[in-house]
Amino acid sequence: MIDPVAFAQALLRADSVTPARGAVFDVLETALVPQGFAVDRFTVGEAPDGPVENMLAVRGDGPQHLAFAGHVDVVPPGGGWTGSPWSGEIRDGLLYGRGAVDMKGAVAAFVAAASRSDAGTLSLIITGDEEGPATYGTVALMERMASRGVVPDLCLVGEPTSTARLGDMVKIGRRGSVNIWIEVPGRQGHVAYPHLADNPIPRLIAILAEIEGVVLDEGTDWFQPSNIEVTDITVGNPAHNVIPAKASARLSIRFNDRHRGADLIEHIRAIAERHAPGVVVTGKVSGEAFLTEPGAFSTLLSDAIVGATGVTPELSTTGGTSDARFLSKLCPVVEFGLINATMHKVDEAVAVEDLRTLTDIYANVISRALD
């Protein structure tokens, strides 16, 4: 049986700023192979988004297949840490290191939980590119799974979902995310001769004014209202006496399951074209909204949490996106992990006791899901 704390320390001591490769996967493989997992490591992609290393580990041939999905890449630690961000040091009951919460701690807990049982079919879907553009991460893993005929019945994602105490929140869905760029063309000229130029700024202002008044929806039973935010306005004009040749803006939309990303792009394009013929609107969908309706899987997980902590979790769809947005295409997906208060912060840390309790919860889930 694997000690989750010692194993988390080993993962934390492997520098794995996204896109992660090499040593951190060595640590994982060393722990999984003796448990009987068939480990498939592969590297894909080219710069600038790659190369990225991923791992698919599968054990057993039971009728039920539970997958655990996570990532071992981390954001850069930045400066100002009390100790080394790669030390895996324990001080006053807290384990410190970049990725302690997001999410090497949860990966360690699940590997330790898996070492307690050999029931059913169990897999780990681990990427080195969740914190980055996710171009060659979980999507590539899903393609690998499809080529091998690996299809889980249920998937647990170990993102840090807890807020005030371990077990208080489980994610059963996520909002979608789309970024949109608007470029309004004009004609450069001298401000003293406006009839010889074409100022694009008033048209961009009109576009953004209409967008500001858009109400996409009032929310749903499980999702908060969708929102459109202007995240950048750029003219790039260094001179006070020149009418610029173009004006640009960027939007970010977080949307619930009443919408699709492509439809929202077209909605913004229609608004822009009403005010500025010739406008260029481009969009990128980071992920669609998804919902795993409350049912047997969320109940199973909630019961395991209550049994270990006494806390009844809130089922929620709040927060940003995660790789569950991709995995939801395979099977029912829920997310549950550590307290997220220090993720991406200086001196990121997890309580040692929480790490052990999370291992107990995951072990219970494995037992209940695969028995």
> In sequence order, what are the residues at sequence separation of 6 or more whose Cβ sits closer than 8 angstroms to the Cβ of residue 244?
186, 188, 199, 200, 201, 235, 236, 237
Residue 335: strand pairing partners: 157, 171
Choice among 53, 129, 130, 348 that is catalytic? 130
Residue 94 and residue 2: Cα distance in Å, rounded? Answer: 19
**What phi, psi does 356 have (nearest 5°)?**
-70, -40
Choice among 53, 73, 288, 360 that is catalytic? 73
Give yes or no: 130 in active site.
yes
Residue 328: strand pairing partners: none
Other C-beta atoms closer than 10 Å to the C-beta of 141 total 26
Helical ranges in 69-191 per DSSP H: 104-114, 138-148
Give yes or no: 73 in active site.
yes
> In sequence order, what are the residues at sequence separation of 6 or more whose Cβ sits closer than 8 angstroms to the Cβ of residue 194?
243
What is the 3-state composition of the chain as percent helix, strand, coil, each rounded to the nearest 5? 30, 25, 45
To which H or E segment does residue 122 belong?
strand 121-127
Active-site residues: which are they? 73, 130
